[in-house]
């Protein structure tokens, strides 16, 4: 685990800004080169090996690349669900059936996202997943995740908890984004594992 320093604990906004600055310094080649390793390490997780349905996401920009992993899961016959961003920042879901099933969508002034073009399955569909792959900017030694701050996945996790669903929660990151500690709030929930191109780390 990388140490965040010996000074006062940074707040979420400050830490997000620093982590995004580092990510934004990556080239397209950097992202491409790590995507294969990330997929290979993720597929080693027993939770993914036995999963029938996986809720995932399509990486954008300098996020750790997920496209190789999505295609590998789909080729295995796994049902892959991908998010559709709603106007209130909640998430609907649709099925991934290959690269041709994605469409580019721009939500207001935000970065264009790749979303499933087919049938909308409803926000509750995530409850069918055996594994939920979560985007994030960092995870700490306790399994606490730092997201981008939009709140979409906080709603997803709250929805799973209300439904009594207990999928494996896995975050995909670069190795430098596994920290000693990230700031947390009362609603934050720990994840089960983080996967980096160097390998997985399970928390509970």
What domain count does the chain have? 1
Count of CB atoms within 10 A of residue 46's CB? 11
CB 69 within 8 A of CB 119: no
CATH number for the domain that contains residue 37: 3.40.50.10420
Token pair 């099933």 is at which residue? 101
Please report how many Cα atoms fall inside a 13 Å half-sphere around the Cα of residue 127, on the Cβ side. Answer: 14
Express each pLDDT in 39-66 by its tens digit: 999 999 999 989 999 999 999 999 999 9
Range 76-96 average pLDDT: 96
Eight-state DSSP code of residue 171? E
pTM of the model: 0.91
Range 113-133 average pLDDT: 96
Range 63-72 average pLDDT: 96
Q: Largest Cα–Cα distance in the chain?
A: 50
Query: Rounded to an integer, what distance in angstroms lies between the CA atom of residue 163 and that of residue 186?
Result: 20
Q: Flag whether 3 is in a domain.
A: no
pLDDT score, position 3? 42
Q: Flag whether 7 is in a domain.
A: no
* Residue 76 structural domain: 12-202
């Amino acid at each position: 685990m990388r140490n965040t320093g010996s000074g006062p604990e940074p707040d979420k906004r400050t830490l997000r800004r620093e982590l995004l600055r580092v990510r934004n310094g990556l080239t397209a080649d950097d992202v491409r080169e790590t995507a294969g390793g990330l997929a290979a390490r993720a597929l080693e997780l027993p939770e993914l090996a036995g999963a029938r349905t996986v809720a995932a996401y399509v990486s954008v920009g300098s996020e750790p690349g997920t496209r190789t992993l999505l295609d590998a899961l789909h080729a295995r016959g796994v049902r892959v669900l991908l998010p559709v961003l709603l106007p209130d920042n909640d998430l609907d879901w649709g099925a991934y059936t290959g690269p041709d099933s994605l469409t580019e969508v721009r939500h207001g002034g935000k970065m264009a996202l790749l979303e499933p073009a087919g049938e909308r399955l409803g926000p509750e569909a995530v409850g069918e997943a055996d594994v939920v792959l979560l985007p994030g900017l960092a995870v700490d030694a306790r399994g606490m995740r730092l997201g981008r701050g939009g709140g979409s996945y906080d709603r997803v996790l709250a929805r799973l908890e209300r439904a009594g669903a207990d999928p494996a929660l896995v975050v995909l990151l670069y190795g430098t984004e596994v920290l000693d500690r990230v700031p947390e709030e009362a609603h934050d929930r720990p994840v089960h594992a983080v996967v980096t191109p160097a390998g997985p780390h399970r928390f509970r």
